[in-house]
Amino acid sequence: MKSGLGKEPLRRFRRHEHLALGGEAQDRVYRLDEGWACRYTLLPDGRRQITALYLPGDVCEPQWVISSKAELSIVALTDVIATEIPLGSIRNASDEGVSELIDALMTNFNRQSDWIVSLGRRSANGRITALFAEIYSRLQQNGRVRQPCTIPLTQQDIADVVGLTPVHVNRVVSELRRQGLVQFSGKTIIVPRPDEIDRQQDGMGLAG
Protein backbone atom coordinates (compact mmCIF):
# COMPACT_ATOMS: atom_id res chain seq x y z
CA MET A 1 0.00 0.00 0.00
CA LYS A 2 1.14 3.45 -0.74
CA SER A 3 1.51 5.61 2.33
CA GLY A 4 2.05 9.10 1.12
CA LEU A 5 4.09 10.72 3.87
CA GLY A 6 4.11 14.43 4.09
CA LYS A 7 1.18 16.30 2.63
CA GLU A 8 0.79 14.37 -0.57
CA PRO A 9 -2.94 13.90 -1.17
CA LEU A 10 -2.56 11.62 -4.19
CA ARG A 11 -3.99 8.12 -4.02
CA ARG A 12 -3.46 5.29 -6.46
CA PHE A 13 -5.90 2.47 -7.09
CA ARG A 14 -5.32 -0.54 -9.29
CA ARG A 15 -7.99 -1.76 -11.62
CA HIS A 16 -10.69 -3.66 -9.67
CA GLU A 17 -9.58 -2.05 -6.44
CA HIS A 18 -12.35 -0.45 -4.40
CA LEU A 19 -12.44 3.25 -3.64
CA ALA A 20 -15.33 2.65 -1.25
CA LEU A 21 -17.50 -0.18 0.00
CA GLY A 22 -21.27 0.03 0.35
CA GLY A 23 -22.22 1.12 3.86
CA GLU A 24 -18.81 2.57 4.67
CA ALA A 25 -18.49 5.95 6.32
CA GLN A 26 -16.62 8.46 4.15
CA ASP A 27 -14.65 11.43 5.38
CA ARG A 28 -13.33 12.47 1.98
CA VAL A 29 -14.14 12.63 -1.69
CA TYR A 30 -11.84 11.86 -4.60
CA ARG A 31 -11.10 13.86 -7.68
CA LEU A 32 -10.05 11.46 -10.43
CA ASP A 33 -6.89 12.79 -12.04
CA GLU A 34 -6.46 9.73 -14.24
CA GLY A 35 -8.51 6.63 -14.84
CA TRP A 36 -12.15 5.60 -14.64
CA ALA A 37 -14.33 4.26 -11.82
CA CYS A 38 -17.96 3.33 -11.23
CA ARG A 39 -20.65 2.88 -8.63
CA TYR A 40 -22.45 -0.45 -8.91
CA THR A 41 -24.91 -2.89 -7.40
CA LEU A 42 -24.56 -6.67 -7.38
CA LEU A 43 -27.67 -8.82 -7.70
CA PRO A 44 -28.09 -12.02 -5.70
CA ASP A 45 -27.21 -14.10 -8.77
CA GLY A 46 -23.93 -12.25 -9.31
CA ARG A 47 -24.94 -9.98 -12.15
CA ARG A 48 -23.83 -6.37 -11.88
CA GLN A 49 -25.53 -3.11 -12.74
CA ILE A 50 -23.41 0.01 -12.90
CA THR A 51 -25.38 3.03 -11.66
CA ALA A 52 -22.78 5.74 -12.22
CA LEU A 53 -19.62 6.21 -14.26
CA TYR A 54 -16.78 8.40 -13.01
CA LEU A 55 -14.44 9.81 -15.65
CA PRO A 56 -11.11 11.62 -15.41
CA GLY A 57 -11.79 15.03 -13.88
CA ASP A 58 -14.93 13.90 -12.06
CA VAL A 59 -15.44 14.08 -8.31
CA CYS A 60 -16.39 10.82 -6.66
CA GLU A 61 -18.80 11.00 -4.94
CA PRO A 62 -20.22 14.48 -4.35
CA GLN A 63 -23.06 13.28 -2.11
CA TRP A 64 -20.58 12.18 0.52
CA VAL A 65 -20.34 15.85 1.43
CA ILE A 66 -23.93 15.62 2.58
CA SER A 67 -24.31 12.09 3.91
CA SER A 68 -20.71 11.14 4.81
CA LYS A 69 -21.57 7.59 3.83
CA ALA A 70 -21.19 5.47 0.73
CA GLU A 71 -24.52 3.84 -0.07
CA LEU A 72 -23.00 1.68 -2.79
CA SER A 73 -19.53 0.38 -3.60
CA ILE A 74 -17.16 2.25 -5.89
CA VAL A 75 -14.56 0.33 -7.88
CA ALA A 76 -11.79 1.34 -10.27
CA LEU A 77 -12.43 0.26 -13.87
CA THR A 78 -8.85 1.16 -14.86
CA ASP A 79 -5.80 2.08 -12.84
CA VAL A 80 -6.67 5.31 -11.09
CA ILE A 81 -4.79 8.29 -9.75
CA ALA A 82 -6.98 10.41 -7.50
CA THR A 83 -6.64 13.45 -5.30
CA GLU A 84 -8.02 12.93 -1.84
CA ILE A 85 -10.14 15.83 -0.61
CA PRO A 86 -10.92 15.58 3.11
CA LEU A 87 -14.46 16.71 3.86
CA GLY A 88 -13.28 18.68 6.86
CA SER A 89 -11.13 20.81 4.60
CA ILE A 90 -14.11 22.14 2.68
CA ARG A 91 -17.00 22.17 5.11
CA ASN A 92 -15.55 25.13 6.98
CA ALA A 93 -13.71 26.63 4.10
CA SER A 94 -15.15 28.96 1.51
CA ASP A 95 -18.56 28.14 0.10
CA GLU A 96 -17.02 27.67 -3.30
CA GLY A 97 -15.69 24.21 -2.62
CA VAL A 98 -19.06 23.08 -1.32
CA SER A 99 -21.12 24.66 -4.07
CA GLU A 100 -18.92 23.10 -6.70
CA LEU A 101 -19.67 19.72 -5.17
CA ILE A 102 -23.37 20.50 -4.90
CA ASP A 103 -23.36 21.38 -8.58
CA ALA A 104 -21.69 18.06 -9.36
CA LEU A 105 -24.26 16.29 -7.21
CA MET A 106 -27.14 17.84 -9.13
CA THR A 107 -25.46 17.01 -12.42
CA ASN A 108 -25.23 13.38 -11.34
CA PHE A 109 -28.83 13.45 -10.22
CA ASN A 110 -30.03 14.70 -13.60
CA ARG A 111 -27.76 12.27 -15.38
CA GLN A 112 -29.40 9.42 -13.50
CA SER A 113 -32.81 10.63 -14.60
CA ASP A 114 -31.61 10.64 -18.20
CA TRP A 115 -30.20 7.16 -17.83
CA ILE A 116 -33.55 5.88 -16.53
CA VAL A 117 -35.04 7.13 -19.80
CA SER A 118 -32.41 5.27 -21.82
CA LEU A 119 -32.81 2.01 -19.91
CA GLY A 120 -36.58 2.23 -19.98
CA ARG A 121 -37.18 3.27 -23.56
CA ARG A 122 -34.15 2.78 -25.80
CA SER A 123 -32.96 -0.22 -27.77
CA ALA A 124 -29.52 -1.76 -27.31
CA ASN A 125 -28.20 0.32 -30.18
CA GLY A 126 -29.67 3.51 -28.75
CA ARG A 127 -28.32 2.88 -25.27
CA ILE A 128 -24.80 2.18 -26.46
CA THR A 129 -24.57 5.14 -28.81
CA ALA A 130 -26.11 7.33 -26.12
CA LEU A 131 -23.45 6.11 -23.71
CA PHE A 132 -20.64 6.89 -26.14
CA ALA A 133 -22.08 10.32 -26.83
CA GLU A 134 -22.40 11.03 -23.11
CA ILE A 135 -18.85 9.92 -22.47
CA TYR A 136 -17.49 12.19 -25.17
CA SER A 137 -19.53 15.12 -23.96
CA ARG A 138 -18.40 14.67 -20.37
CA LEU A 139 -14.74 14.22 -21.27
CA GLN A 140 -14.95 17.39 -23.31
CA GLN A 141 -16.44 19.31 -20.41
CA ASN A 142 -13.69 17.97 -18.16
CA GLY A 143 -11.08 19.08 -20.68
CA ARG A 144 -9.89 15.50 -21.14
CA VAL A 145 -10.58 14.88 -24.81
CA ARG A 146 -7.67 13.55 -26.70
CA GLN A 147 -7.80 13.18 -30.45
CA PRO A 148 -9.77 11.10 -30.90
CA CYS A 149 -11.99 10.06 -27.97
CA THR A 150 -10.88 6.71 -26.53
CA ILE A 151 -12.94 4.54 -24.18
CA PRO A 152 -10.95 2.19 -21.93
CA LEU A 153 -13.94 0.09 -20.86
CA THR A 154 -14.28 -3.62 -21.48
CA GLN A 155 -17.38 -4.79 -23.27
CA GLN A 156 -18.42 -6.41 -20.00
CA ASP A 157 -18.19 -3.00 -18.31
CA ILE A 158 -20.26 -1.44 -21.06
CA ALA A 159 -22.82 -4.24 -20.73
CA ASP A 160 -23.13 -3.54 -17.01
CA VAL A 161 -23.79 0.13 -17.71
CA VAL A 162 -26.38 -0.33 -20.44
CA GLY A 163 -28.13 -3.33 -18.89
CA LEU A 164 -27.29 -5.88 -21.59
CA THR A 165 -25.17 -9.00 -21.91
CA PRO A 166 -21.57 -8.70 -23.07
CA VAL A 167 -22.37 -10.95 -26.02
CA HIS A 168 -24.99 -8.57 -27.33
CA VAL A 169 -22.83 -5.54 -26.63
CA ASN A 170 -20.20 -7.16 -28.80
CA ARG A 171 -22.64 -7.59 -31.67
CA VAL A 172 -23.85 -4.01 -31.48
CA VAL A 173 -20.36 -2.55 -31.20
CA SER A 174 -19.15 -4.74 -34.07
CA GLU A 175 -21.99 -3.39 -36.20
CA LEU A 176 -21.04 0.18 -35.25
CA ARG A 177 -17.50 -0.60 -36.37
CA ARG A 178 -18.80 -1.98 -39.64
CA GLN A 179 -20.61 1.31 -40.12
CA GLY A 180 -17.48 3.29 -39.33
CA LEU A 181 -19.03 4.96 -36.30
CA VAL A 182 -16.37 3.52 -33.98
CA GLN A 183 -12.88 2.13 -34.46
CA PHE A 184 -10.71 -0.25 -32.49
CA SER A 185 -7.19 0.12 -31.26
CA GLY A 186 -6.46 -3.28 -29.83
CA LYS A 187 -9.33 -3.78 -27.45
CA THR A 188 -10.01 -0.13 -26.73
CA ILE A 189 -12.85 1.59 -28.53
CA ILE A 190 -12.32 4.87 -30.34
CA VAL A 191 -15.06 7.27 -31.37
CA PRO A 192 -13.68 9.24 -34.31
CA ARG A 193 -16.69 11.48 -34.96
CA PRO A 194 -18.78 11.84 -31.78
CA ASP A 195 -21.31 14.09 -33.49
CA GLU A 196 -22.34 11.22 -35.78
CA ILE A 197 -22.73 8.85 -32.84
CA ASP A 198 -24.87 11.47 -31.20
CA ARG A 199 -27.16 11.63 -34.20
CA GLN A 200 -27.59 7.86 -34.06
CA GLN A 201 -29.47 7.77 -30.80
CA ASP A 202 -32.57 9.68 -31.86
CA GLY A 203 -35.46 7.65 -33.08
CA MET A 204 -34.20 4.38 -31.65
CA GLY A 205 -37.17 2.12 -31.03
CA LEU A 206 -38.36 0.36 -27.94
CA ALA A 207 -36.12 -2.22 -26.43
CA GLY A 208 -37.25 -5.78 -26.51
Partner DNA sequence: CGGTTTGTTGAGGGCCATCAAGTTGAGTGG
Partner DNA sequence: CCACTCAACTTGATGGCCCTCAACAAACCG
Would you tell me which residues interact with a copy of itself (CB under 8 A)?
A: 39, 41, 43-45, 47, 49, 51-52, 63, 66-67, 71-72, 102, 105-106, 108-110, 112-117, 119-121, 162-163, 165, 202-203, 206-208
67: contact with DNA by CB under 7 A: no
Which of 20-28, 67-75, 104-112, 163-171 is the region at the interface with DNA (rule: CB under 7 A)? Answer: 163-171
Q: In sequence order, what are the residues at sequence separation of 6 or more whose Cβ sits closer than 8 angstroms to the Cβ of residue 113? A: none
**Nearest residue (CB) to a copy of itself, 49 versus 170:** 49
Instruction: Please select the residue that binds DNA; options are 67, 89, 110, 174, rule is CB under 7 A.
Output: 174
Q: What is the DSSP letter of 27?
A: S
Which of 21-29, 33-41, 142-150, 153-161 is the region at the interface with DNA (rule: CB under 7 A)? Answer: 153-161
108: contact with DNA by CB under 7 A: no
Binder of residue 186, out of a copy of itself, DNA, none (CB less than 5 to 8 A by kind): DNA
187: contact with DNA by CB under 7 A: yes
Which of 29-37, 119-127, 130-138, 142-150 is the region at the interface with DNA (rule: CB under 7 A)? Answer: 119-127
**Helices 95-121 and 124-141, interaxial angle, to 10°?**
160
203: contact with DNA by CB under 7 A: no
Beta-bridge mates of residue 49: 41
Q: 81-103 as b/e, with b when 16 or more CB fall inside 10 Å? A: ebeebebeebeeeeeebbeebee
Binder of residue 125, out of DNA, a copy of itself, none (CB less than 5 to 8 A by kind): DNA
184: contact with DNA by CB under 7 A: yes
Cα–Cα distances in angstroms (integers) from residue 145 to residues 61, 133, 190, in the given order: 22, 13, 12
Sign of the C-alpha dihedral computed for residues 173, 179, 181 and 184 taken in this order: positive
Binding residue count for DNA, defined by CB under 7 A: 24
- Beta strands per DSSP E along the chain: 10-13, 18-20, 28-34, 37-42, 48-54, 59-60, 73-76, 80-86, 149-151, 183-185, 188-191
Q: How far is the CB of 68 from a copy of itself (least distance, A)?
A: 11
